[in-house]
Amino acid sequence: MLSENKDFPINWLRSEFPSLDVEDAGRKRVYLDNPAGTQVPASVADAIRNTILFENANLGGSFPTSEAAGHVIEEGHRAMADFFGCSPEEVVIGPNMTSLTFNFSRMIARHWKEGDEIVVSQMDHEGNVSPWLQLADDKGLVVRKVSFDTDSWQIEPEALQSVLTDRTSLVAITASSNLTGSINRLAELIPLIRGAGALVYVDAVQFAPHGFVDVGVLDCDFLVCSSYKFFGPHLGILYARKSVMESLDPYKCRCSSNALPERFETGTPQIELVAGLTACVRHFAKLGEAVGEKGDRRARIAAAFESSIRHEMHAVATLIDGLQTIRGLIIHGITDSTRFSHRVPTVSFTLSDMAPVDLVRCLNEEGIFCWAGHNYAWEVVHQLGIDPAKGVVRIGIANYNTAEEIDRTLESVERNIAMLRQER
């Protein structure tokens, strides 16, 4: 069992989230649906409320509310630049990761030719697969798929190398699976892609809530994530390398700005949500301060993740240890605690004798929120031979979850499995 992070300020952290105190029938809710979307600190909600009430105007005016709205947009880009480790002009904010990927896939491939090749992985969420498959249909591109290894639960360098050719234009790859929780060793994979002369498009939606993002170290061309997965509002955020951004011909209105990143942010932005995005990054920095970091915002964000990872890994170790004692339960992902640095605290499993939805319905009725289904990991379930109509039970831990909540969940899982089996 991994050691508990006793210095983690769990009580202070939970006090930041009003929803964690909500009770149903005298029982507090347990939010383990986090891979689909986390709860939100009061500070994020307050920022959204205050902006839409008191700074509600379109951009570009010389009056106070418009100037304030412009400041909100600038601050949002600066905040995410600190989160990614890049320049504010390399940050594009949009409605969600999938929409950004559909949009950017068309811009990236605008001048590609029939027969050019793209690589997608069988480890990815559909948001980083379908846009590229549909692009290939539109332009007559060749699609190559790379599978993940079911021993390591990662994409192995040899498998990736085998699908790269001198016509590979782009590789779309995930940082972490939203079903198995496995983290790819991007430091080994990206140099192979760059060696083939291809662009690298990283889906970090499931990684960003649980790992410190450094786009400079990764050396990727694009990286995209969703702030509602890490305590923020419903927005997608994309990093794009400046030199690559400058080479793209954007789809935009003729009279709109050609500056970076504005030319990639079509229409009026969701100004109030961008205020919430900045508050979300401030929340990470505040956690970093709470664990003792006094440096700049990026340093405080890094400290927040370092402490959170230790807390989350103890929780996921407890969860996995408990689940593995249950007869007929199969965890799809890394279960060896010595390899937990290669996973996020998202755990998916199936049972040999019952549909995931039956167990999840029982858990939900007891105030334990989690999901059943394929969770848009369409390629993953097909590679694993899992019926997508049934999918998996998915339990996803966030840093605000407690040891007591994991114990309560394990007790409920065991008891309800036994009950459902007895009913059969």
Which residue pairs from 48-51 have beta carbons closer than 8 angstroms and sit at least 24 positions apart in sequence?
A: 48/233, 48/272, 48/273, 48/275, 48/276, 48/279, 49/272, 50/275, 51/271, 51/272, 51/275, 51/276
Q: Phi/psi at 348 (nearest 5 deg)?
A: -120, 140
Take residue 270 and report the two structure tokens written for it: 């969701």
69-83 residue pLDDT tens: 999 999 999 999 999
Q: Does the pLDDT at position 2 exceed 80? A: no
Helices and strands, counts by H and E, the chain: 14, 15
Domain 10-42+298-423 in CATH 3.40.710.10:
no
Structural domain 45-281, CATH architecture: 3-Layer(aba) Sandwich (3.40)
**What pLDDT band is residue 5 in, cutting at 50, 70 and 90?**
confident
1: pLDDT strictly greater than 90: no
Question: 336-350, pLDDT tens digit by residue?
Answer: 999 999 999 999 999
Q: What is the average per-residue pLDDT within 272-290?
A: 98
Q: Please, how many CA atoms are within 13 Å of residue 293, restricted to the half-sphere of its CB?
A: 21
Residue among 223, 269, 265, 268 at smallest CA distance from 84: 223
CA–CA gap between residue 178 and residue 64 (Å, rounded): 43
Q: Are strands 91-94 and 236-240 parallel, antiparallel or unpaired?
A: antiparallel
* Alpha carbon distances (Å) from 279 to 39, 399, 400: 14, 17, 17
Contacts of 222 (CB under 8 A, 6+ apart): 104, 108, 199, 200, 201, 202, 238, 239, 240, 241, 244
Q: Compute the average pLDDT of residues 345-364.
A: 97
Q: Which residues contact 208 (CB under 8 A, 6 or more apart)?
A: 175, 225, 226, 229, 230
pLDDT tens profile 100-149: 999 999 999 999 999 999 999 999 999 999 999 999 999 999 999 999 99
Does the predicted TM-score (pTM) go above 0.95? Answer: yes
Alpha carbons within 13 A on the beta-carbon side of 279? 23
Q: List the domain boundaries for the chain.
A: 10-42+298-423, 45-281
- The encoded tokens of residue 266 equal 């079509």
Q: Can you read off the two tokens belonging to residue 162?
A: 């085998």
Q: Cα–chain-centroid distance for residue 109?
A: 24
Residue 313 DSSP one-character state:
H
b/e code 317-350 from CB counts within 10 Å (16+ = b): bbbbebbeebeebebbbbbeeeebebbbbbbbbb
